[in-house]
Amino acid sequence: MLDLGKYAGPVIWSWVATLGLMAAVIALTWWQSKRAKAALAAAEARRTSTS
């Protein structure tokens, strides 16, 4: 493993924070995508049922 010396703690925690934030952004994007697809499907269903 790479020897980080006295900076090991901050470097490791910055990696943990970065990976956690990236995972949160990916999860949020995935969740919003599912909501948008559901809203689009509902709008298309309303449009086809009234035509």
pLDDT one-digit tens code per residue, 2-47 = 788 899 999 999 999 999 999 999 999 999 999 999 999 999 999 8
Higher pLDDT, 14 or 1: 14
- In which element (H, E) is residue 44 found? helix 8-50
The confidence score (pLDDT) of residue 1 equals: 64
The confidence score (pLDDT) of residue 22 equals: 98
DSSP 50: H
Reduced to 3 states, what is the DSSP secondary structure of residue 32? Answer: helix
Structure tokens at 31: 């969740």
The confidence score (pLDDT) of residue 49 equals: 83
